[in-house]
Amino acid sequence: MHNFTPRRVKGFTLIELMITVAIIGIIAAIAYPSYQNSVIKSNRTQAQACILEAAQFMERFYTLNARYDQQRGTNPPVAVALNLNCINEINRNYALGLVAANLTANTYSLRATPVANSTQANDRCGSLTLNHQGLKGVINGNGATVAECW
């Protein structure tokens, strides 16, 4: 007669595996949207820094030339301001530019517009603006206020 003793099986049961997968799914469903919001806020902060850098350039140009628009014999501020290093950092998510209609000898307006099909396309703040008076704004903000976006 053989005496059979039950062997201990090593490994996971299907129930244990399914519970683990369910827990990972729940954690991922909570964590991923939070991560996306953090990425959007980070990209928006980069755009804010770049728009402020461009505004500083415009103010330096005004200090030297007593005007924001191009004067004979000087480089146009539009071309120089939009050649800043920060633009290379944000160009996947934002297009930074001077609003041509608002560029005069005494006024300017800068706008950072989210690029279509980028992470920022879903940003509820829309386009960020800054003018010669330092007034910040939001265009197409889907109900977001300036305080929330800046």
Residue 125's pLDDT is 92
* Residue 129 amino acid letter: T
Look at residue 42 and tell me if it is in a domain: yes
Instruction: Report the CATH number at residue 59.
Output: 3.30.540
Calpha distance 66→81 (Å, rounded): 16
Q: Is the dihedral of CA 112, 113, 115, 121 positive or negative?
A: positive
Look at residue 4 and tell me if it is in a domain: no
With bands split at pLDDT 50, 70 and 90, how would you rate the model's confidence at 85?
confident
Over residues 3-39, the pLDDT tens digits come to 666 666 677 789 999 999 999 999 999 999 899 999 9
Exposure of 86 in the CB half-sphere (CA atoms within 13 A): 23
Number of domains within the chain: 1
* Residue 86 amino acid letter: C
Over residues 68-82, the pLDDT tens digits come to 887 655 555 555 556
Residue 86's pLDDT is 83
Q: Are 47 and 93 in contact (CB under 8 A)?
A: yes
Given the structure tokens 């307006």, which residue do they identify? 109
Terminal Cα distance for the chain, rounded: 83
Mean pLDDT estimate for the chain:
85
With bands split at pLDDT 50, 70 and 90, how would you rate the model's confidence at 52?
very high
Look at residue 5 and tell me if it is in a domain: no
Indicate the Cα dihedral angle 87, 88, 89, 93, nearest 10°: 80
Look at residue 9 and tell me if it is in a domain: no
Query: What percent of the chain has a predicted confidence (pLDDT) above 70?
Result: 85
Look at residue 70 and tell me if it is in a domain: yes
Look at residue 2 and tell me if it is in a domain: no
Look at residue 136 and tell me if it is in a domain: yes
Angular region, 94: left φ>0, alpha ψ -120 to 50, beta rest: beta
Look at residue 1 and tell me if it is in a domain: no
> Domain of 105?
14-149
Residue 129's SS3 state is strand
Beta-carbon contacts of 129 under 8 Å, excluding residues fewer than 6 positions away, are: 99, 109, 110, 111, 112, 136, 137, 138, 139
